[in-house]
Structure 1
């Protein structure tokens, strides 16, 4: 039996599987680096097993779809809101503000009220309600 020497050796390497792997790694890298989300920093309250017996004043700040700001149902400007919150906070350091935004409210006004509460050091919360269909 004789061995045929006609067969040429392969002088190229198939790089298609290597490129497929490189593209998959590139896509995974892009997805993982763009997955980080920026947002507001808020100090969330820590849960307690003890019910609170203290009663503190609660102000409800509502932002309407028309861009009005209501404090306990009374329309105020942002300057009046700041003055009222400063006065109430001076009276009771543990007073709370519940911020309630309507579905069509301008998000910038909600953030402005949150920033105002942070600036004054007032305890705040975001009020939510079930949307009726």
Structure 2
């Protein structure tokens, strides 16, 4: 009888009961499913609506403004100053009323310098301004010749 009880106890340890582990896993899953939508709606923000059939701008009407880390400014590939930017904007708007400006700024640029460029473009009446990020930059010409 003693041998039988030893075999049973050894066999009992060999089996792993996974039911409590599955209960715990499913409980965590339910908690995450309930709390995830609450995390997204936790901040009250009115998001703008995008036009569903908005056309991309004419490639000939897109100009590039590049701002380097040192604060250098380029209109397409030509170096300019911030004082020359309004004149360039006015000339480009005269040629292309549907002007779009893609702003390429170095990630280490001081925020105030970028704001100055955006203020100048807005004051010049540019209807579309976009800030280019790394994935979009692949198709644009380099900042300096």
Distance apart, 1:49 and its partner CA:
2.5
Q: Which has the higher helix share?
A: 2
Whether 1:71 aligns to 2:95 is no
- 1:98–1:127: 8 Å Cα contact kept in structure 2? yes
What is the CA–CA distance in structure 2 between the aligned matches of 1:69 and 1:76, rounded to whole Å?
Answer: 6
Give the superposed CA RMSD: 2.7
Distance apart, 1:56 and its partner CA:
4.3
Unaligned runs of 5+ in 2: 1-42, 136-145
Give the structure-2-normalised TM-score.
0.53
Whether 1:124 aligns to 2:129 is yes
- What residue number does 1:87 align with? 91
Unaligned runs of 5+ in 1: 1-34, 37-43
- What residue number does 2:107 align with? 103
**4+ aligned runs moved over 6 Å, structure 1:** none
Distance apart, 1:105 and its partner CA:
1.3
Q: How many residue pairs end up in the alignment?
A: 90
What is the CA–CA distance in structure 2 between the aligned matches of 1:60 and 1:113, rounded to whole Å?
Answer: 12
Residue-by-residue CA offset, 1:46-75 (whole Å, 9 max, x unaligned): 333364585541111111001101111211
- 1:56–1:96: 8 Å Cα contact kept in structure 2? no
What is the CA–CA distance in structure 2 between the aligned matches of 1:63 and 1:113, rounded to whole Å?
Answer: 9
What is the CA–CA distance in structure 2 between the aligned matches of 1:112 and 1:55, rounded to whole Å?
Answer: 25
